[in-house]
Structure 1
Amino acid sequence: MVALDLEAIVSGAADAEVAVANSVTEARRALGSAAFDAAFLDIDVLDGKTFEVARLLAERGTPFAFVSGARQEDVPPPLREVPFLPKPYDPQDIERTFLARLAGRG
């Protein structure tokens, strides 16, 4: 449900093609077949935590942010500088973060 909500917010903020992955496995597959301008990651997904995906995005220079009900303190130290939007989130915060990340300011 959160993924659909995020998809609607991002699509409303920009003319964007949105890919949704419900697991680390799906996210890895998506990253292998496409380039992304920006990403939002929930920390806890069906098959674990998305820190591996976050590291891949960082290595590629893809801007991203965490949107999660997890505790920010659970994020590994190398990823703690990444924007973190706690659930429940304000849709305007998602839109602002997305647009800032695309602009390279976030």
Structure 2
Amino acid sequence: MAAVRVLIVEDDPFIAMDIEMAVAEQLGEAAELIVVESVAQARRAAAGQLSCALLDIDVVDGKTFEVADTLRKTGIPFAFVSGSAPQEVPKPLRQARFLRKPFSTREVVAFVMAAIGGIVPESIA
């Protein structure tokens, strides 16, 4: 299993690809990027070991708030990457980082690097 595992929940394939490419470019092959498009898939992925997560709010089968709450309770850093308004986020989840679409891939990468403690896999050190 990769030392760094990043969950990306995004139902727009082009946005998902942008996020995935930006993170992969920074972390290299030593990182495992798990890209899913639904709450059901995200729920399954969140049950495993993760380093951090990037969550769109509105995806194929609903909102990702339940997944975010699970991540929060288990101490896994996450950020919302969404076109929704930050006020739509339930109060217990409002402490999470919120990257508003359209986002900068630099913002996404900066969040991931901060979330993993700036760990740089040996393959790109």
- Listed one character per residue, the Cα deviations across residues 45-71 of structure 1 (whole Å, up to 9, x for unaligned) are 001100000011111111110100001
Q: Residue 55 of structure 1: which of 31, 55, 69 is its match?
A: 69
Larger Rg: 2
- Structure-1 residue corresponding to 2:27: 14
The reply to whether residue 103 of structure 1 matches residue 120 of structure 2 is no
What's the offset of the Cα at 1:97?
1.1
> What TM-score, normalized to structure 2?
0.78
**Separation in 2 of the partners of 1:14 and 1:21?**
19
Equivalent pairs: percent with the same residue? Answer: 46
Compare 13-22 and 70-79 and name the one that shifted more.
13-22
Q: 1:72 aligns with which of 86, 93, 110?
A: 86
| Whole-angstrom distance in 1 between the partners of 2:55 and 2:96 | 11
Runs (4 or more) in structure 1 with deviation over 6 Å come to: none
Q: In 1, distance between residues paired with 2:110 and 2:85?
A: 21
Shift of 1:12: 1.1
Q: Which amino acid in the other structure matches residue 27 of structure 2?
A: A
- Tell me the TM-score normalised to structure 1 length: 0.92
Corresponding residue pairs, total: 103
Task: State the match for 1:38 in structure 2.
Answer: 52
Higher relative contact order, chain-length normalized (CA < 8 Å, sep 6+): 2
Q: Per-residue deviation at 1:83?
A: 0.3
Matched residue type, 1:27: A
Deviation per CA, 1:7-42: give whole Å up to 9, x if none. 11111121311001101001112223x211011000
Mapped partners of 1:13, 1:57: distance in 2: 23
Q: SS of the residue aligned with 1:97?
A: helix
